[in-house]
Structure 1
Amino acid sequence: MRLMILRHAPSLADGLLAGRRDVPADCGDAAAFARQAARLRPAQVIASPALRCRQTATALGLVPDRLEPALWEQDLGAWEGMDPSLLPDLGPLPLDALARHRPDGGESFDDMAARVIPVLQALQRDTVIVAHAGTVRAALSIVVGPAALSFAVAPLSLTVLQRAGADWAVQTVNLCAGD
Structure 2
Amino acid sequence: MTASSRQARFDDGESLDEGGAARARAAAGALPSAVRVVTSPSARCRETARALGLEGGPTRELAGLDAGRWRGRTLEEVGAAEPEAVGRWLTDPTCAPHGGESVRDLCGRIARWLADAQAVQGRTVAVVEPEVVRAAVVDALDLPASVFWRLDVPPLTVTELSGRSGRWNVRLGRPLTAPDAG
How high is the TM-score relative to the length of structure 1?
0.79
Partner residue, 1:119: 113
Structure-1 residue corresponding to 2:16: 25
Counterpart check, 1:58 vs 2:50:
yes
Mapping for residues 1-179 of structure 1, pairs under 5 Å = 10-13=1-4, 15-19=7-11, 21-28=12-19, 30=22, 33-35=25-27, 37-64=29-56, 66-88=57-79, 89=83, 97-123=91-117, 124=120, 125-142=122-139, 143=141, 144-146=143-145, 147-171=147-171, 173-177=172-176
| Richer in helix (by share) | 2
SS of the residue 1:39 aligns to: coil
Q: Which runs of 5+ in 2 are unaligned?
A: none
Partner of 1:3: none
Residues 1:161 and 1:36: Cα distance change in structure 2 (over 3 Å): farther
Question: Which SS does the other structure have where 1:18 is aligned?
Answer: coil
How far the C-alpha of 1:87 sits from its partner, in A, is 3.6
Q: Which amino acid aligns with 1:134?
A: E
Matched residue type, 1:99: P
The answer to whether the 8 Å contact 1:78/1:103 transfers is no
Distance, in Å, in 1 between the alignment partners of 2:61 and 2:18 is 24
In 1, Cα distance between equivalents of 2:126 and 2:102? 22
Is the contact made by 1:74 and 1:109 (CA closer than 8 Å) also made in structure 2?
Answer: yes
- Number of matched pairs: 166
> 1:92: how far off?
7.4
Label 1:92 to 1:85 Cα distance change in 2 as closer, same or farther (>3 A).
Answer: closer
Q: Deviations over 1:101-160 (max 9, x none)?
A: 213211111111222221121112311001101110110011133223311111212111
Flag structure 1 segments of 5+ consecutive residues without an equivalent. 1-9
CA RMSD of aligned residues (A): 2.7
* 1:31 Cα deviation after fit: 5.1
Q: Distance in 2 between matches of 1:148 and 1:162?
A: 20
CA distance change for structure 1 residues 33 and 175 in 2, over 3 Å: closer, same or farther?
Answer: farther
The structural deviation recorded for 1:32 is 5.1
Measured in 2, the distance between the counterparts of 1:32 and 1:45 equals 16
